[in-house]
Every structure is written in structure tokens, then in C-alpha cells.
Amino acid sequence: MSQSPDIHFRLLDNARDSLSHAVELLAWKDIGTDHTRLKHAITNSAHAVELLLKERLRLIHPAFIWEKIDKYPSLEAQTVNVSTAIVRLERVGGVELSQSDKNNLKSLRNTRNAIEHYEWSTSEKEAKLIVGNALSFAFSFADQELGIDLAAEFKRDDTWRALLQELTDFVRAYGKRIAERLQENGEHPEYCEECDEYTVPYDGGSCELCGHWP
């Protein structure tokens, strides 16, 4: 009998996997109830965000992932939480996060902790806002700080389109980020009639959010 290959998820692979679960839960309605899918989408997106922050720390030096740097690389020692990761990225890595992002990540962390360690109660509207902001941050952070287009794999089929249709909070949050990035690059984004966001490059091309060609 042949031995099964070892299971190994690199840090970034682990983040991709959790992000994929979050997106698929939101895009497709073939598993559980709406509230169950939202709950698991939040925990998966929180996990993905935490790992993406750690991946950025790893690029500075792998030891920064550990709470106590001198414990690196012991897997028995604690790694940093989201708050510590943000502080190190700002102080050591020169990575600046907006106050809005910090507030949203804090809300995401608190929500994840409530779900995983106690009980959770909120409105459906608030839950969608939390997960929409989380996914928006994850895709933007991966693109700008890691040079990785995590959205590409969801655009190979109808998953991305379904996500945009199901989660308007994500559309607004990510659309705003795209528009701000285009403006920072000296472009003047135009309105997209398909997704209702200012995410079409002024010089032409498809919408950078939904892919619609004007």
C-alpha cells in the first residue's frame, strides 16, 4: 500500500485556501443557510487576512511572524496576532494602513473571536458589511503589498460575477479602493454601467471591478 503524500500548506497557500472558502460560500448558495454561510465566510476571511499580514511580515524577515522573535522558528511558540502584525508592518516594514482599515480589521477580529469562542449575535446587514470590508482589504492588500492578483482565480468561471451579485457591500468597498488607486496613479476613473462604480480607466479598457467593457 502506497503512502499518502504529506499535507503541506505554505503560508500564502493557506491564505488562498481560506479566502477561496469565504468567496465560494458567499457566491454560491448550495451549502447551509444564508446565516451559516455568512458566519463561516467571516471566519475564513479573517483567517485569510491574518495570514496575508503574516506573509508580508515574512517578506521582511520570517522571525517577525513570531510573538517573541527569539523563539523563531519554533512551532510551539505563539505567532503574532493581527494587532501586533499591523504594528510591526508599520514600524518595521513601512506599510501604512488607514485608520479605517485598522478599525475594520479590529471589528473583524472581534467578530471572529465571538464566533469561535463564545456566541455571536448581529444583524445580517452588519455581517455583510464586515465580510465585505474584509474581502476588499484582502484583495487590495495582496495586490499592493504582495504583488498577487488573488481575484484572478475567481474570474476563470462565474464565481466572481456571482460574488458581485450577492454582496453589494463588497462591491462598494472594493470599488472605492479601485477608484482611489486609479486616482493615485493619475488616472480619472469613469463610471461603469454594469456595477455602478467608478472603476473604468479613463484611457479605456474594461472595468477593473466587474470586467465589463463599456
pLDDT band at 118; cut points 50, 70, 90: very high
Whole-model pTM? 0.95
Per-residue pLDDT at 11 exceeds 90: yes
Answer with the residue of higher pLDDT: 2 or 162.
162
pLDDT of residue 32: 86
Does residue 98 share a domain with residue 56? yes
pLDDT of residue 75: 86
CB of 39 closer than 8 Å to CB of 120: yes
Mean pLDDT score across all residues of the chain? 95
pLDDT of residue 101: 98
Give the chain's radius of gyration (CA, Å): 18
Per-residue pLDDT at 100 exceeds 90: yes
Domain count, the chain: 2
Domain of residue 109 covers 11-155
- For residue 160, is it within any domain? no
Does residue 151 share a domain with residue 171? no
Cβ neighbours for 177, distance < 8 A, ≥ 6 positions apart: 136, 140
Distances (CA, A) of 154 to 26, 65, 108, 149, 180: 12, 28, 23, 10, 23
